[in-house]
Amino acid sequence: MIRPDPAAAPVSDLVPMTPDHLPQALALSQAAGWPHRLEDWALTLSVSKGVSAFEGGRLVGTAICSAFGPVATLNMIIVAEDRRGMGLGRRLMQHVIALAGGCEMRLTATEDGLPLYRRMGFIERGRIVQHQGLARAMKPERPVRFGPADTDMLAALDTAASGMQRKALLARIAATGDTLRTEGGFALLRAFGRGHVLGPVVARDAGAARALMSAAAEQLAGQFLRVDLSAADPLAPHAEALGLAHVGGGTAMVHSARPCAPSDHHSYALASQALG
């Protein structure tokens, strides 16, 4: 495909993202083949700051920085297909990197985005594997209970596992979704995209993580469920057994990484690829 000459391309106006931008942002993500609903965009923006690129009133690019204490996730980085290859992606990244303010930065890269992120100093540190499908009921190997969220406790375990301070995010998810607890771990289940997503899944060991996944699948048997796992963890076979096929994923990348304090808890599944 012949791309327009960047020198002749209109200059995009970059402005702070607001909720008024989200209907156009939704259309942009749908054009890119992403499953997000308007509510999913709104959740991310509610705990974040973002930048929108406009040309003549048309939204042509987005990027969001979600700051969680010492760590920020950079996400929803989208450039309209007809504006790619003109430097807009780099401009958007420069703005959200500035918003991160010196934090460790994490993102999940698509294949298209990898070259830019590498050039901007991001380092690969593993793969994220996306599993989804119609959930198949399976009895959890450990007791799991659904119930009210103790957000202070959830946030403490989540910070120990991920290094991120996400109490506000976890409280928002728990307020509209389900909290699952088992000995040695917790998970959150909420509406997302085509159905539901399970995440984060935080646990002391893989057995607790499997139990939480099984309980979610049992709760949603026959319904669409998604979970985003680290390829380094041995949970993909269990996801497949629950009816959740491997359908893709992304590359986990980091910039300005900081040492993590030792913890006996681990993040087995992301809250989302956008939010870590």
Give the pLDDT confidence score for residue 5 in this predicted structure: 38
pLDDT, the chain, mean: 95
Query: Are 46 and 148 part of one and the same domain?
Result: no
Query: Are 66 and 161 part of one and the same domain?
Result: no
Contact (Cβ atoms closer than 8 angstroms) between residue 98 and residue 75: no
Residue 12: pLDDT band with limits 50, 70, 90: confident
Contact (Cβ atoms closer than 8 angstroms) between residue 44 and residue 172: no
Give the pLDDT confidence score for residue 10 in this predicted structure: 58
Give the pLDDT confidence score for residue 260 in this predicted structure: 85
Q: Is residue 22 part of a domain?
A: yes
Residue 11: pLDDT band with limits 50, 70, 90: low
Query: Are 80 and 155 part of one and the same domain?
Result: no
Task: Using the predicted structure, report yes or no on whether residue 114 has a pLDDT greater than 70.
Answer: yes
Residue 261: pLDDT band with limits 50, 70, 90: confident
Bond from prior residue into 234 cis (ω within 30 degrees of 0): no
Query: Which residues make Cβ contacts (< 8 Å) with residue 63, sequence separation at least 6?
Result: 50, 51, 74, 75, 76, 77, 78, 92, 93, 95, 96
Domain boundary among 87, 102, 117: 102
Q: Is residue 139 part of a domain?
A: yes
Q: Is residue 208 part of a domain?
A: yes
pLDDT of 88-103, one tens digit each? Answer: 999 999 999 999 999 9
Query: Are 33 and 137 part of one and the same domain?
Result: no
Q: What percent of the chain is modeled with pLDDT above 90? A: 94
Task: Please give the Cα distance from 82 to 143 (Å, whole number).
Answer: 51
Higher per-residue pLDDT: 270 or 13: 270
* Domain CATH for 203: 3.40.630.90
User: pTM to 2 decimals?
Assistant: 0.94
Query: Are 81 and 176 part of one and the same domain?
Result: no
Contact (Cβ atoms closer than 8 angstroms) between residue 196 and residue 190: yes
Q: What is the mean pLDDT of residues 179-188?
A: 97
Query: Are 135 and 251 part of one and the same domain?
Result: yes
Among 56-60, 130-134, 141-145, 147-151, which is the least confidently predicted range?
147-151
* Domain CATH for 70: 3.40.630.30
Q: How many domains are there within the chain? A: 2
Query: Are 263 and 161 part of one and the same domain?
Result: yes
Give the pLDDT confidence score for residue 7 in this predicted structure: 39
Residue 3: pLDDT band with limits 50, 70, 90: very low
pLDDT of 33-52, one tens digit each? Answer: 999 999 999 999 999 999 99
Q: Is residue 107 part of a domain?
A: no
Q: Which domain holds residue 32?
A: 6-102
Q: What is the mean pLDDT of residues 51-64?
A: 97
Task: Please give the Cα distance from 260 to 162 (Å, whole number).
Answer: 8
Q: What is the mean pLDDT of residues 3-25?
A: 75
Contact (Cβ atoms closer than 8 angstroms) between residue 44 and residue 271: no
Query: Are 238 and 137 part of one and the same domain?
Result: yes
Query: Are 134 and 221 part of one and the same domain?
Result: yes
Query: Are 51 and 134 part of one and the same domain?
Result: no
Task: Please give the Cα distance from 173 to 183 (Å, whole number).
Answer: 21
Query: Are 11 and 52 part of one and the same domain?
Result: yes
Query: Are 30 and 141 part of one and the same domain?
Result: no
